Amino acid sequence: MSALLEVSGLGKQFGGFVALDGIDLDVMPGERLGLIGPNGSGKSTLVNCICGTLQNETGHVRFAGDVLDGEPAHRRTQRGLARSFQLPRPFASLSLAENLRIPILYTVNARAGGGLAGAAIDARCRDLLGQVGLAEKADRLPRDLTQIEMRKLELARAMAAQPKLLIADEAMAGLSHTEVDEIIALLIRLNEQGVTVIMIEHIMRAVMEFSQRLAVLVAGRKIADGEPKDVVREPEVVRAYLGE
Amino acid sequence: MRTLPFALSLILVAAGVFAFGRWLGNSYAFFAGYVVVQYIVLGTAWNILGGYTGYVNFGITAFFAIGAYSTVVLHKLAPVLPLPVMIVVGGVLAGIVGLGTGYLTLRLRGVFFSIATLALAVVVQTLITNWDFVGGARGAYVLRPRTAPLIGGEYMQYLCLIMLGLGVIVLVTARSIQRSALGYGFAAIRDDEGAAEASGVPTLRLKLIATTLSGAFMGMAGAPLPYYVTYLDPASGFSLNYAVNAIAMPLIGGTGSWLGPVVGAVLVGGLQEYLRVTISSAVNVLVAGVLMVLFVIVAPQGIVGLFQRKR
For range A116-128, the mean pLDDT: 86
Give CA–CA dist B65/B62, Å, rounded.
5
Contacts of B2 in chain A (CB under 8 A): none
* Cα torsion angle, A155, A156, A157, A159, sign: positive
- CA of A229 to nearest chain B CA: how many angstroms apart? 33
Residue B61 pLDDT: 95
How far does Cα B302 stand from its chain's mean position?
18
**Is A243 or A214 the better-scoring residue by pLDDT?**
A214
Q: In this predicted model, which residue has the larger pLDDT, B286 or B127?
A: B127
Per-domain boundaries in chain A: 5-242
Contact of A169 with A84, CB cutoff 8 Å: yes
Q: How many Å is the Cα radius of gyration of chain A?
A: 18
Q: Does B190 touch chain A (CB under 8 A)?
A: yes
Letter string b/e over residues B93-121, b meaning 16 or more CB atoms within 10 A of that residue's CB: bbbebbbebbeebeeeeeeebbebbbebb
Structural fold of domain B3-307: ABC transporter involved in vitamin B12 uptake, BtuC (1.10.3470)
Q: What is the pLDDT of residues A175-222, one digit of tens each?
A: 889 989 989 999 999 999 999 999 998 888 899 999 999 999 998 899
Answer yes or no: are the C-beta atoms of A152 and A132 closer than 8 Å.
Answer: yes
Residue B283 CA to its chain's centroid (Å): 21
- If you ran DSSP here, which 8-state letter would residue B138 be given? G
Mean pLDDT, residues B126-140: 92
Going by pLDDT thresholds of 50, 70 and 90, the confidence category of residue B126 is very high
* Contact (CB<8Å) B188/A139: no
Judged by DSSP in three states, A92 sits in: coil
Q: Which residues contact B237 (CB under 8 A, 6 or more apart)?
A: B61, B64, B65, B68, B69, B128, B222, B225
Mean pLDDT of chain A: 90
Q: What is the mean pLDDT of residues A124-153?
A: 91
| Segment B204-213, tens digit of pLDDT | 999 999 999 9
Tell me how far CA of residue A153 lies from CA of A28, A79, A87, A132, A145, in angstroms: 26, 21, 12, 8, 9
- pLDDT in the model for residue A239: 84
Q: Which of B53, B177, B199, B304 to mutate to test the interface with A (most CBs of A within 10 A)?
A: B199
Question: Strand pairing of A213-218 and A81-84?
Answer: unpaired
What is residue A117's predicted lDDT score, i.e. its pLDDT? 76
Asked whether the predicted pLDDT for residue B311 surpasses 60, the reply is no
Mean pLDDT on B128-157: 88
Chains A, B: CB pairs < 8 Å: 88
- Mutation target to probe the B interface, by most B beta carbons within 10 A, among A102, A136, A137 is A102
Of the two residues B282 and A238, the one the predictor is more confident about is A238
Computed on alpha carbons and rounded to an integer, the radius of gyration of chain B in Å comes to 19
User: Do residues B268 and B288 touch, judged by C-beta distance below 8 A?
Assistant: yes
Contact across the interface for A91 and B311, Cβ inside 8 Å? no
List, for residues B264-280, the tens digit of each pLDDT value: 999 999 998 888 888 87
Burial of A235 (0-12, 13-18, 19+ CB in 10 A): exposed
Query: How far is residue A134's CA from residue A143's CA, in Å, rounded to a whole number?
Result: 14
Beta-carbon contacts of residue A81 (< 8 Å; ≥ 6 apart): A5, A50, A51, A63, A68, A163, A164, A165, A167
Task: Name which residue leads in pLDDT, B218 or A230.
Answer: B218
Task: State yes or no: pLDDT of B200 exceeds 80.
Answer: yes
* Nearest Cα residue in chain A from B202: A74
Is the model's pLDDT at B281 over the cut of 90?
no
Mean pLDDT, residues A146-161 taken together: 92
Quickly list DSSP for B243-275.
Answer: HHHHHHHHHHH-SSSTHHHHHHIIIIIHHHHHH
- Could you read off the pLDDT of B55-84 as tens digits, one per residue? 999 999 999 999 999 999 999 999 889 999
Measure Cα distances from B229 to A15, B34, B35, B225, B237 in Å: 56, 11, 11, 6, 10
Q: Give the one of B181, B191, B311 whose C-beta lies nearest to A91's C-beta.
A: B191
Average pLDDT for residues B222-246, to the nearest whole number? 92
Task: Output the pLDDT for position A112.
Answer: 66
| In the predicted structure, residue B259 carries a pLDDT above the cut 70 | yes
Closest chain B C-alpha to A111 CA, distance in angstroms: 11
Residue A109 in this model has a pLDDT that exceeds 90: no
Q: What does the CA dihedral A85, A88, A93, A94 come to, rounded to 10 degrees?
A: 70
Tell me which residues of chain B, numbers 221 to 260, contact chain A at a CB-CB cutoff of 8 Å: 256
The third-level CATH classification (topology) of the domain covering A5-242 is Rossmann fold (3.40.50)
CA–CA separation, B258 and B169 (whole Å): 12
d(CA B74, CA B67): 11
Give the pLDDT mean for A133-154. 92
